[in-house]
Amino acid sequence: MTDATSHPEPTLIALVRHGETEWNRERRIQGMTDIPLNDTGREQAAETGSRLVDGEWDAVYASTLSRAAETAEIIAGVLELPAPRLFGALAERSHGVLEGLDHAGRAAVEAQAATIEGLEPRSTVIARASAALAEIAAAHPGGSVVVVSHGGVIHSLILELSDWTLPGTGYAIANGSVHLLRHAAGALELVEPELLTGTEA
């Protein structure tokens, strides 16, 4: 029996960005808009599953948005694990009126508005995603899980966990990429954060 101050064994979390969508290809802001994977995205999901197959994974989890949920389903199939459990708190950051715009359109809106209607505060994204990952870790003490989420969520978590020193300049959270976190002693931490300082192709 453990006392009230003890913590469960650390949990390894492979945080995966979903595969490509048409809006990704067109460089349009998705946010909470539910855009499905395209065929390239499905291929990326299968490739990510293949990269993870040598690990010992206990379960797969995902955001409720279809692009993440389908990515997780494909990965779970490759890893021969049950269907993923979905968490709304792992969904992408809401970008409000920016959703659907390309980067030029976003810049034009931002140049004209002091605040962006519907843009979710980054602190809120970090808080909800961290709580979801803590809940997932609590279900798998000493285990390893795959969690499929979104570029904005992953980027926000890396900023928070590195005291805003990472990602490095020009670093992209690529579709299908894997970033390792650990939940230990009641808190999240980066695993091998030096891996995050380069630029992904």
Residues tagged active-site = 18, 92
Cα 108 to Cα 130: distance, rounded to the nearest angstrom: 32
Q: How many residues does the chain have?
A: 201
Residue 52 parent element (H or E):
helix 39-52
Cα 152 to Cα 165: distance, rounded to the nearest angstrom: 16
Cα 156 to Cα 120: distance, rounded to the nearest angstrom: 12
Q: Which residue has the tokens 């931490």?
A: 189
Q: Which residue has the tokens 């948005």?
A: 65
Cα 64 to Cα 85: distance, rounded to the nearest angstrom: 9
25-29 contact pairs (CB < 8 A, 24+)? 26/102, 27/102, 27/103, 28/100, 28/101, 28/102, 29/95, 29/98, 29/99, 29/100, 29/101, 29/102, 29/103, 29/106
